[in-house]
Amino acid sequence: MLLSAEEIARILRVGNDPLVITPAPNPDELRNSGAGAVDLRLGTWFMTPRHPRIGVLEVAEGRVSFGVEDEIMRRHYVAFGERFILHPRAFVLAATLEWLRLPRSLAGYIMGRSSWGRRGLIIATASGVHPGFTGCLTLELTNVGEVPIDIRPGMAICQLFLHETKGSTVADGSGFVGARRPALGRIELDRIARALRKPGAT
């Protein structure tokens, strides 16, 4: 079941396994919005690819084989009141301003705001948020339009939709749990993928 904004306002910081959003949205504004989601804002940290240093992002055993994250990506801090220009066809990692904690009873996903989408801004390609997740959400920003886009920390950038879950579920120990800045993460090879890489596999 999709939670309304009014229901999200009702359950914020309630119970032994609460939903937490920090900075917290205004409960009255949520109740009066009539929406089915809560807005999240753009944070102050960004990551851009180090193009001259990257040949191929080759997948090795359980990691990106080219090297550590800082060799692949460059970090940028953009203060409130300043801007970040996202050029056409550029790809940037960012993070939400809000720190989230989802209870085990909720899962979610993030979607871009239509006002941004109509200007060519895509905000996420891996949009699922698992039960029990804690941290700031990493956003995959891409400008698919024809002109540069001015984005600024603190502006509403996406929407978080929340659903109730059935059964006992909780986020695994991935590297994204607890993150406060955008993260590249590892590319994991599962058992089947590892077996298929062996010589003679059919």
For residue 39, tell me if it sits in a domain. yes
Nearest Cα residue to 180 out of 92, 73, 98, 106: 98
For residue 202, tell me if it sits in a domain. no
For residue 201, tell me if it sits in a domain. no
Q: Which residue of the set 29, 140, 146, 188 is catalytic?
A: 140
Determine the average pLDDT of the residues in 102-122: 92
Residue 58 bears catalytic tag: no
Asked if the model's pLDDT at residue 65 lies above 50, the reply is: no
For residue 59, tell me if it sits in a domain. yes
**3-state SS, residue 11:** helix
Give the model's confidence band at 32: pLDDT under 50 very low, under 70 low, under 90 confident, else very high. confident
CATH number assigned to the domain comprising residue 89: 2.70.40.10
For residue 24, tell me if it sits in a domain. yes
DSSP code per residue over 47-95? EEE-GGG-S---EETTEETT--HHHHEEEEE--TT--EEE-TT-EEEEE
Q: What is the dihedral of CA 98, 109, 129, 14, to 10 degrees?
A: 60
For residue 100, tell me if it sits in a domain. yes
Nearest Cα residue to 35 out of 175, 193, 127, 156: 156
Asked if the model's pLDDT at residue 61 lies above 70, the reply is: no
For residue 191, tell me if it sits in a domain. yes
The residue range of the domain holding 149 is: 5-196
Asked if the model's pLDDT at residue 28 lies above 90, the reply is: no
Instruction: Tell me the per-residue pLDDT of 147-199, one tens digit each, with 9 for 90 and over.
Output: 999 999 999 999 999 999 987 666 555 555 667 888 777 667 777 777 777 76
Instruction: Say how many domains are in the chain.
Output: 1
Instruction: Tell me the per-residue pLDDT of 115-152, one tens digit each, with 9 for 90 and over.
Output: 999 999 999 877 899 999 999 999 999 999 999 999 99
Beta-carbon contacts of residue 116 (< 8 Å; ≥ 6 apart):
123, 157
For residue 161, tell me if it sits in a domain. yes
Beta-carbon contacts of residue 195 (< 8 Å; ≥ 6 apart):
201
Specify the amino acid at residue 194: R
Residue 48 and residue 92 in contact, taking contact as beta carbons nearer than 8 Å? yes
